[in-house]
Structure 1
Amino acid sequence: MRIAVPKEIKNNENRVALTPAGAKEFVKEGHEVFVQQTAGEGSGFSDEAYQLSGAKILPTIESTYEAGDMILKVKEPIGPEYALIRENQLLFTYFHFASNEPLTRAMIRSKAVCLAYETVEKPDRSLPLLVPMSEVAGRMAAQKGANYLEKPLGGRGILLGGVPGTLPAKVLILGGGVVGTQAAWMAAGLGADVIIMDVSLPRMRYLSDVMPKNVKTMMSNEYNIRKLIGSTDLIIGAVLIPGAKAPHLITRDMLQEMLPGTVMVDVAVDQGGCIETCEPTTHENPTYTIDGVLHYCVANMPGAVPYTSTLALTNATLPYALALAKNGWQDACLHYPELRSGLNIIKGDVVYQAVAETFDLPYVPVSYYLNQH
């Protein structure tokens, strides 16, 4: 198979979907690898390193898309890339379709096969290709929140961990999954007073067992959220419903109840955000303020630490990418049930129910395509 890796063109996105080590694995198995010129530079990988691994360097994004039977990316294609995607081409990347109708309709028109990292799901409901970036984003959420609590950046002017004789900042984390857990570890390690909210009692029992003493758990509901937000300094949104839009747990009217300079970091922005006033921002312009509350809603947070993020992501994606290249997407999805759940759009049909329901589109069960095979 011909594997193509275009350079990411989303604002300040420095990750790359394949390392030179990964390219070598494809070449060893007899595949051809094409990498766009400078695609790996942002993550610290030179064109020469890819060439030494057996990959061919192509000069433009157009020639890279043209060369590939399978396109490996990190982030979803954006406007200039839509016309480069062709019928029956396999795209393996993060898509987050439920929060992006123009992208969804563009991929339907392309008649490509869209396999989304974020909905690849194992039988135990874990998301192996989302976990690495969730770990990075969760840790960054606490780090960024601590930074933006500083007065010159728009926050309350409070040190996350405090010092002797002063109280630490209060941090509220909405969601006790991978993002929320990692955010809690970081915030707690800096000395903050942390509360994690979730709707799963078993999950909260687990968190109560493993977290340090400055982390508490609480049932997530509107009453409890309103009870806490008036005295909270940093709110981190970490809610995920695989493949679907995140629910709005923080509504516009709640901002009036918050302290001026409260900071909100919405890690769920890729899936529409769990904060109603959340709008995607970029690393170039990461924040905005509404009603005195600072919002940080960067849609590709791990892109700010591309070396760490690229290695963490490709460690997880490479085995699946190799399987897709070796077997083709249909056989690979039959042999790896988790890949089957990653299929979102096939040749113009939406085969992931949550996406179809979000935009009121016809839904075709994925079995229609796999049974044909």
Structure 2
Amino acid sequence: MHIGIPREIKNHEYRVALTPAGARALVAAGHAVSVETGAGVGSGFADAAYRAAGASIAASSKDVWQAGLVLKVKEPQAVEVPHLRDGQILFCYLHLAPAPALARSLMASGVSAIAYETVSDAGGGLPLLAPMSEIAGRLAPQMGALGLHSSNGGSGVLVSGMPGVPPAHIAIIGAGIVGMSAARVAIGLGARVTLLDRVAAPLSRAEQNFGARVETRYSTPDAIADTLPCADIVIGAAQIPGRHAPRLISLAQLRTMRRGSVLVDVAIDQGGVAETSRPTTHSDPFFIAEGVVHYCVANMPGALARTATEALTHATLPYVLALAAQGLAALDADSGLKAGLQIHAGAITHAGLAEDLAGA
């Protein structure tokens, strides 16, 4: 099969869908790989490295979009959508729940769109979302700390505190991969940490891993309402695979937060957990609403492109090899990969996504 790797054009998106090592594995399996010139530069991979791996370098994006299987990191941007065609397979992060217009465009194109974020494994995990979730989780306390800077509109609180001055209080809503990764870094920074989740098991794991350094609470509307007014940083880490993130913080609740506190909404790529959240970019990451600094960058791991690209390729390559060898028949052989299929033959094939977009 012919596999195309376009250069990512989303704001400050430096990742690329495949490393040269991944390209070498595909070529060794008998496939043709086309990489748009400069696609890997932001991750530290020069065109020459892809050539050495056996890939061809395409002078324009049009050439790579001719491929039967197109690998990307982020969802197609508006100028890329016209390249999509009937019978083509698109494999990338889609996050369509908050993007009904893009979903309609994909349906109209006839493309078969498989979303990294809903591919599952035998245990019900999300193996292609997990590495980026871990990176985003580790970044979240750092971005929250930056938001606390007075120059960004924050309260001027130092996360670690000082002798005689207490540390910042970081509240994390959601104890999945994002939340646990965020808790680990927040504790390392010296913050007081509260972790909320609806399920007991991850809270137990957090206490086993972090001991008294983390306070755990069941995530109920009352618990969230109690926590928001005393938090310096709130990290939104709750998600429902393939669906709009749960809306957990209303405008009224946000207004109870201290002026200059920070909301880091990691779930923004699925619509966000707060009523006031809206996507921002790495070039303009913060905005202030109701006195609260919001950080809502939808492609957080793109800031750490080398690490993120290597982690992403390690996770996706087995699935890419299967798709390249078998086409859509690979979905019949792997129910977890089939769970990633969101658009096919002009229709939405993911039940939860269809429900979210009904009438949108």
Q: With structure 1 as the length reference, what TM-score do the two structures score?
A: 0.95
Looking at structure 2, the residues matched to 226 and 45 of structure 1 have their Cα atoms a distance apart, in angstroms, of 46
For residues 300-319 of structure 1, the C-alpha deviation after alignment (integer angstroms, 9 at most, x for no partner) is 00001101110111110011
> Which residue does the alignment assign to 2:166?
167
> Which residue does the alignment assign to 1:357?
355
Q: Does 1:144 align with 2:129?
A: no
Looking at structure 1, the residues matched to 40 and 221 of structure 2 have their Cα atoms a distance apart, in angstroms, of 44
Looking at structure 2, the residues matched to 214 and 345 of structure 1 have their Cα atoms a distance apart, in angstroms, of 44
Question: Offset at 1:355?
Answer: 1.2
Question: Offset at 1:349?
Answer: 1.4
Looking at structure 1, the residues matched to 77 and 200 of structure 2 have their Cα atoms a distance apart, in angstroms, of 39
Q: Does 1:265 align with 2:264?
A: yes
For residues 262-296 of structure 1, the C-alpha deviation after alignment (integer angstroms, 9 at most, x for no partner) is 00000000100011100000001111001110000
Looking at structure 2, the residues matched to 175 and 54 of structure 1 have their Cα atoms a distance apart, in angstroms, of 43
Say if 2:144 and 2:264, in contact at 8 Å, map to a contact too.
yes
> Which residue does the alignment assign to 1:38?
38
> Which residue does the alignment assign to 1:369?
none
Looking at structure 2, the residues matched to 256 and 74 of structure 1 have their Cα atoms a distance apart, in angstroms, of 35
Question: Offset at 1:49?
Answer: 0.6
Which 10-residue stretch deviates more, 35-44 or 145-154?
145-154
Question: Offset at 1:351?
Answer: 0.7
Say if 1:120 and 1:340, in contact at 8 Å, map to a contact too.
yes
> Which residue does the alignment assign to 2:59?
59
How do residues 69-80 of structure 1 correspond to structure 2 at under 5 angstroms? 69-80=68-79
What's the RMSD between the two structures over aligned residues? 1.1
Question: Offset at 1:231?
Answer: 1.2
Question: Offset at 1:8?
Answer: 0.4
For residues 24-66 of structure 1, the C-alpha deviation after alignment (integer angstroms, 9 at most, x for no partner) is 0011011000000100000000001100111001111112102
> Which residue does the alignment assign to 2:311?
312
> Which residue does the alignment assign to 1:237?
236
> Which residue does the alignment assign to 1:89?
88
Question: Offset at 1:123?
Answer: 3.0
> Which residue does the alignment assign to 1:189?
188
> Which residue does the alignment assign to 1:365?
none
Question: Offset at 1:79?
Answer: 0.5
Secondary structure, counterpart of 1:213 in structure 2:
helix
Q: Identity over aligned residues, as a percent?
A: 46
Secondary structure, counterpart of 2:122 in structure 1:
coil
How do residues 10-49 of structure 1 correspond to structure 2 at under 5 angstroms? 10-49=10-49
Question: Offset at 1:174?
Answer: 0.4
Say if 2:86 and 2:110, in contact at 8 Å, map to a contact too.
yes
Say if 2:118 and 2:242, in contact at 8 Å, map to a contact too.
yes
How do residues 333-348 of structure 1 correspond to structure 2 at under 5 angstroms? 333-348=331-346
Secondary structure, counterpart of 1:313 in structure 2:
helix
Q: Structure 1: which amino acid aligns with 2:207? A: S
> Which residue does the alignment assign to 1:371?
none
Looking at structure 2, the residues matched to 227 and 355 of structure 1 have their Cα atoms a distance apart, in angstroms, of 32
Question: Offset at 1:255?
Answer: 2.2
Secondary structure, counterpart of 1:307 in structure 2:
helix
Say if 2:119 and 2:337, in contact at 8 Å, map to a contact too.
yes
Q: With structure 2 as the length reference, what TM-score do the two structures score?
A: 0.98
Say if 2:152 and 2:286, in contact at 8 Å, map to a contact too.
no
Secondary structure, counterpart of 1:259 in structure 2:
coil
Question: Offset at 1:153?
Answer: 1.8
- Number of aligned positions between the proteins: 360
Say if 1:188 and 1:212, in contact at 8 Å, map to a contact too.
no
Say if 2:197 and 2:219, in contact at 8 Å, map to a contact too.
yes
Secondary structure, counterpart of 1:239 in structure 2:
coil
Q: Structure 1: which amino acid aligns with 2:356? A: T
Q: Structure 2: which amino acid aligns with 1:314? A: T
Q: Does 1:246 align with 2:253?
A: no
Secondary structure, counterpart of 1:12 in structure 2:
coil
Provide runs of 4+ in structure 1 moved above 6 Å: none
Looking at structure 1, the residues matched to 282 and 37 of structure 2 have their Cα atoms a distance apart, in angstroms, of 23
Say if 2:147 and 2:286, in contact at 8 Å, map to a contact too.
no
Say if 2:148 and 2:260, in contact at 8 Å, map to a contact too.
yes
For residues 153-172 of structure 1, the C-alpha deviation after alignment (integer angstroms, 9 at most, x for no partner) is 21111111112211110010
For residues 152-198 of structure 1, the C-alpha deviation after alignment (integer angstroms, 9 at most, x for no partner) is 12111111111221111001000000000000000001110000100
Secondary structure, counterpart of 1:205 in structure 2:
helix
How do residues 93-242 of structure 1 correspond to structure 2 at under 5 angstroms? 93-242=92-241
Looking at structure 2, the residues matched to 301 and 214 of structure 1 have their Cα atoms a distance apart, in angstroms, of 26
Question: Offset at 1:128?
Answer: 0.1
Say if 2:194 and 2:214, in contact at 8 Å, map to a contact too.
yes
Question: Offset at 1:208?
Answer: 1.3
Say if 1:260 and 1:292, in contact at 8 Å, map to a contact too.
yes
Which 10-residue stretch deviates more, 192-201 or 351-360?
351-360
Say if 2:175 and 2:203, in contact at 8 Å, map to a contact too.
yes
